Structure 1
Amino acid sequence: MRPARHLSERRLRPSDAGPPVSVTRSCAPRPCQEVPDLNPAPLADTLGSMVDMLPLPHWTALASLNDDAVPLMSTALLIARDEYPQLDAELYDTLVQSHVEHLRREVDAIDLWPLKMAAVNRYLFDELGYSGNHDEYYDPRNSYLNQVFERRLGNPISLAMVQIEVARRLGIPLAGVSFPGHFLVRLPVDDGVLVMDPFNGGRPLGVDELRERARPHLGGEIPDDRALAQILDPAPHRAILIRILRNLHGVYADAEHWDRAARSADRILKLVPDQPEALRDRGMAYLHLGHRNGARHDLSRYLVLNPGAQDAAHLHEHLVELNSQRARAH
Structure 2
Amino acid sequence: MSYSFLELSEQEWLPTIDIIWEISRQLGYRNVADIAEFWQQVDGFEGFDEHASAAEKMAQLGRYFYRELGYSDAPESWVKSHRILIHEVCVQRTGVPLVLAILLHAAAHRHGLHVQLIDFPGYPLLKYETHGHAHFFDPHTGESVRYEDIVHRFDHLMDGDAQFCWEWAEATPQAALLEAYLTELKQCFMAEARFEKALRCIEMLLVLRPNDPYEIRDRGYLYEELGCQHIAADDYQFFVEQCPDDPSAQLLKLQLENYAGPSHIVH
Q: Does the TM-score normalized on the shorter chain lie above 0.5?
A: yes
- Cα RMSD (Å): 2.7
Show the counterpart of 2:180. Answer: 243
- When normalised by structure 2's length, the TM-score is 0.86
Q: CA deviation at 1:255?
A: 3.3
Question: Following superposition of structure 1 onto structure 2, how do residues 128-143 of structure 1 map, counting pairs within 5 Å?
Answer: 128-135=69-76, 138-143=79-84
Partner amino acid, structure 2, of 1:102: G
Show the counterpart of 1:263. Answer: 200
**1:97 is the counterpart of 2:39:** yes
Residue ranges of structure 2 left out of the alignment (5+ in a row)? none
**Deviation by residue 1:193-249 (Cα, 9 ceiling, x = unmatched):** 2222112x112222332233223442x11854xx34122121111111211111122
| Bigger mean CA offset, 283-292 vs 311-320 | 311-320
Residue ranges of structure 1 left out of the alignment (5+ in a row)? 1-48, 50-57
Partner amino acid, structure 2, of 1:87: V
- Cα distance in 1 for residues equivalent to 2:131 and 2:76: 37
- Cα distance in 2 for residues equivalent to 1:119 and 1:328: 59
Asked if the contact 1:110–1:116 (Cα under 8 Å) also holds between the matched residues in 2, the reply is no
Asked if the contact 2:128–2:135 (Cα under 8 Å) also holds between the matched residues in 1, the reply is yes
Runs of 4+ with >6 A deviation = none
In structure 2, relative to structure 1, the CA distance for the partners of 1:305 and 1:124 (3 Å cut) is same
Asked if the contact 2:74–2:94 (Cα under 8 Å) also holds between the matched residues in 1, the reply is yes
User: Could you say what secondary structure the match of 2:44 adopts?
Assistant: helix
- Cα distance in 2 for residues equivalent to 1:276 and 1:194: 38
Asked if the contact 1:252–1:261 (Cα under 8 Å) also holds between the matched residues in 2, the reply is yes
Q: CA deviation at 1:328?
A: 10
Question: Following superposition of structure 1 onto structure 2, how do residues 1-330 of structure 1 map, counting pairs within 5 Å?
Answer: 49=1, 59-63=3-7, 65-66=9-10, 68-81=12-25, 82-88=27-33, 91-92=34-35, 94-103=36-45, 106-107=47-48, 109-110=50-51, 112-135=53-76, 138-199=79-140, 201-218=141-158, 220-221=159-160, 224=163, 227-322=164-259, 325-326=260-261
- When normalised by structure 1's length, the TM-score is 0.71
Partner amino acid, structure 2, of 1:60: S
- Cα distance in 2 for residues equivalent to 1:281 and 1:326: 20
In structure 2, relative to structure 1, the CA distance for the partners of 1:109 and 1:328 (3 Å cut) is closer
Q: CA deviation at 1:180?
A: 1.7
User: Could you say what secondary structure the match of 1:68 adopts?
Assistant: coil
Asked if the contact 1:249–1:265 (Cα under 8 Å) also holds between the matched residues in 2, the reply is yes
Aligned residues: 263
Asked if the contact 1:63–1:273 (Cα under 8 Å) also holds between the matched residues in 2, the reply is no
Q: CA deviation at 1:327?
A: 8.2
**Deviation by residue 1:8-38 (Cα, 9 ceiling, x = unmatched):** xxxxxxxxxxxxxxxxxxxxxxxxxxxxxxx
In structure 2, relative to structure 1, the CA distance for the partners of 1:98 and 1:255 (3 Å cut) is closer
Asked if the contact 2:12–2:174 (Cα under 8 Å) also holds between the matched residues in 1, the reply is yes
User: Could you say what secondary structure the match of 1:167 adopts?
Assistant: helix
User: Could you say what secondary structure the match of 1:85 adopts?
Assistant: coil
Partner amino acid, structure 2, of 1:297: D
Identity within the alignment, %: 22
- Cα distance in 1 for residues equivalent to 2:233 and 2:14: 31
- Cα distance in 2 for residues equivalent to 1:286 and 1:87: 27
